[in-house]
Amino acid sequence: MPTSSTSPSPSAPAGFSLAGMVEGVRLSLPMVPGILMAAGAVGAASAEKGLSLGEATLMSFLVYAGASQLLALQLWPSTWTWPALAALVLVVFAVNLRLVLMGAALQPYLARGMPRGTPYLALVTLTDANFVIGSRYSADGGRDTGVFLGAGLFMWLIWVVATVPGHVLGYMLTDPRRFGLDLVMPLLFTIMAVGLFRLKRDRLVWPVAAGVAVVTAQLVSGYWFIIVGAVAGSVAAGLFRRHD
C-alpha cells in the first residue's frame, strides 16, 4: 500500500468529515508496527515495576505518550512520597514539552477547520505520530481536520489495547534480567537518540546535557539529573541557536 498517495484537493473547503477520519486511519497504518512495539514495551515495563494490569492500561489510556510513560516507569517509586510524585510529574511534563511546538504548528490547520473550542478536545489525541500525519497533510494543501482526529483516535485505541499483551508477557517472565528486559528502556532511549540527532543543532547541546546530567547524578540522589541535564541542554540550544 502506498504511504501517502492521495493528495488532498487544495480547493476543498476547510472542515471536518467522516471521510477525513477514514483517511487519517489509512495514513496511520504504516505506523502501527512501531506503536505495537512501543505499547508492548510500556506494558512489560509496567509489569516489571509492579503496576497491575488495570493501572498499566489506565496509564496508557489517560497519558497516551510513550516516551514519557517509559521515563515515568523508570522513576516509578516503590513507596509514594510527595517529592517522588512531583519528580515524576515534572519529568513527564519535560518529556512532553515538545508537544507545545507541535500544537503551535497545527494551530492554523485546526483553528480553520473546526468549530471554535473543539480543537481543545481534538488535541487530547495529539502525539508525534498524528502531528506528522496532520502537518504533512495540511502542508500538501489538505484542510479536513478529520484526518488529524481520525489518525489520533485510531492510534490511541491501538496504544491502549497493545499495552495489555505487553503487561501479561512482562508479568509471566520470572527472571526478566536474563532476557535483558530491564534494559528495554535504556535501549529504546538509545534508539530514539540516534533518530533525534541533528549534527548542526546537537553537537554542542548534547555534550552540555550529558555532562551536566553526569555531574548532577554524582551530587544529587534520585532522578533529578534528567531534569537538570535536559534543562541545561535546552537552554544551551536556545543560546547557541545563532552559531549554526
Partner 1 sequence: MTDWLDQGLIGPISAIIAMAAATYFIRVLGYWIMGREPLTPFVRAALEALPGAIVVATIVPLVVRGGISAWVGMACAAGTMILVRRDVVGLAAGLGGAILVRALGLP
Where in 3-42 is the site for partner 1 (CB under 8 A)?
Answer: 33-34, 37
Q: Is 222 a residue that touches partner 1 (CB under 8 A)? A: no
Contact pattern from residue 146 through residue 185 relative to partner 1, giving x for each residue in contact according to CB under 8 A and a dash for the rest: -------------------------------xxxx--xx-
Q: Is 72 a residue that touches partner 1 (CB under 8 A)? A: yes
Where in 90-119 is the site for partner 1 (CB under 8 A)?
Answer: 92-108, 110-111, 119
Of 140, 203, 210, 222, the one binding partner 1 by CB under 8 A: 210
Dmax over Cα atoms in the chain, in whole Å? 60
| CA atoms of 131 and 123, how far apart (whole Å) | 10
| CA atoms of 59 and 66, how far apart (whole Å) | 10
| CA atoms of 157 and 165, how far apart (whole Å) | 14
Q: Report, in Å, the least distance between residue 86 CB and partner 1.
A: 9
Nearer of residues 136 and 241 to partner 1, judged by Cβ: 241
Q: Report, in Å, the least distance between residue 196 CB and partner 1.
A: 4
Q: Where are the alpha helices (DSSP H) in the chain?
A: 18-28, 32-48, 53-62, 66-74, 82-96, 98-113, 119-122, 128-139, 146-172, 184-196, 199-219, 224-240
Nearer of residues 11 and 78 to partner 1, judged by Cβ: 78
Of 136, 187, 203, 222, the one binding partner 1 by CB under 8 A: 187
Of 39, 42, 45, 67, the one binding partner 1 by CB under 8 A: 67
Given a contact cutoff of 8 angstroms between Cβ atoms, the answer to whether 25 and 137 are in contact is no
Nearer of residues 22 and 75 to partner 1, judged by Cβ: 75
Given a contact cutoff of 8 angstroms between Cβ atoms, the answer to whether 185 and 74 are in contact is yes
